[in-house]
Amino acid sequence: MIERLEAKRYVERKPSSGDKRIKLLYLTKSGAVLLREVMPFVDRAQARMLQPLKPTDRKTLLALLDAAGRSQQRVLAGAAARRRRSRPSREKLMAQHNERPVLIAGGGIGGLAAALGLAQKGIASILLEKASALGEIGAGIQLGPNAFHAFDYLGVGEAARNMAVYIDQQRLMDALTAEEITHVDLGDAFRARFGNPYAVVHRGDLHGVFLKACQDHPLIELRSARKCWALTRTAPR
C-alpha cells in the first residue's frame, strides 16, 4: 500500500535526522491534498467500526491507539539515539583497521578481489601468497554479467572488459553424438536484459587486472613467498 502511494507520489521516504538508516515517510503536497479528501471517509469508517462498542470501551481503545503511536515514536527516537552513541566514527574505524590490517591468505582471484573490496571501504590489508611470485596459470574462465557488475564495484570493470572476448551463443552439446542439445543466445537482448555481457577471458589475464589494481592501491600490501600455517581466533565470535 505504502509503495503504491509512493509510486503515485503521495508519500516520500527521507532519512531520519538521527539515524540515516531509518527512512521516515512524509506526505508530499499531492499526498496532503489526497489525505484531506479521504479523511472524512476514514473518520466515518472508524466511527462505524467503533459504533458497536460501549462508550467507555471506545474511549479506552482510542486512548490505547494514541498511546501506541506515541510510544512507537519514542522507541524509534531512543533506538536512533543509542545507535548514535554506540557507533564509532568512520575515521576511528579506519584507524583501528589500518593499525591492524586484515590478513588475506592466498593471492588468487579471490584473495585479490577481497583485498580490493576491503580497500573500497577504506580498510587496509596484507595479502600473503605462498608461491614465490603472484601469478595465475590455467585456462579460460567464463564470466556472467554478474561478474562485470562486481568488477565495476571493485574498480576493475573497464580493464576486464577491454581484454574479454564476447560470445554470442552458449551451446550445450551431446558428448557422444556431437549434436546440439540446446543453446542460449547471448547477444544484444541478453546484454540489455542483464546490463552486462557474457564473456570469456584467460584466467591469467583476469588475474593480471586484479593484480595491477592491488599493486596500485595504497591500502594493499602484497607479499609473496609467505605461507600461512595456522589461524588463531582471538576476537570473540
Ligand X SMILES: Cc1cc2nc3c(=O)[nH]c(=O)nc-3n(C[C@H](O)[C@H](O)[C@H](O)COP(=O)(O)OP(=O)(O)OC[C@H]3O[C@@H](n4cnc5c(N)ncnc54)[C@H](O)[C@@H]3O)c2cc1C
- Chain residues binding ligand X by CB under 6 A are 105-111, 128-131, 141-142, 227-228
**Smallest gap, in angstroms, from Cβ of residue 104 to ligand X?**
9
Question: Residue 106 or residue 208: which is nearer to ligand X going by CB?
Answer: 106
C-beta nearest to ligand X: residue: 108
**Smallest gap, in angstroms, from Cβ of residue 129 to ligand X?**
5
DSSP H or E stretch at residue 171? strand 169-173
**Smallest gap, in angstroms, from Cβ of residue 142 to ligand X?**
4
56 within 8 A of 50, measured Cβ to Cβ: no
For residue 154, count other CB atoms closer than 10 A to its CB. Answer: 20
Question: Residue 11 or residue 112: which is nearer to ligand X going by CB?
Answer: 112
**Smallest gap, in angstroms, from Cβ of residue 68 to ligand X?**
51
CA distances (Å), 124 to each of 74, 107, 223, in order? Answer: 39, 15, 14
Question: Residue 123 or residue 128: which is nearer to ligand X going by CB?
Answer: 128
Q: How far apart are CA 30 and CA 168, in angstroms?
A: 48
219 within 8 A of 124, measured Cβ to Cβ: yes
Burial class of 129 by CB neighbour count within 10 A (0 to 12, 13 to 18, 19+): buried
Question: Residue 30 or residue 142: which is nearer to ligand X going by CB?
Answer: 142
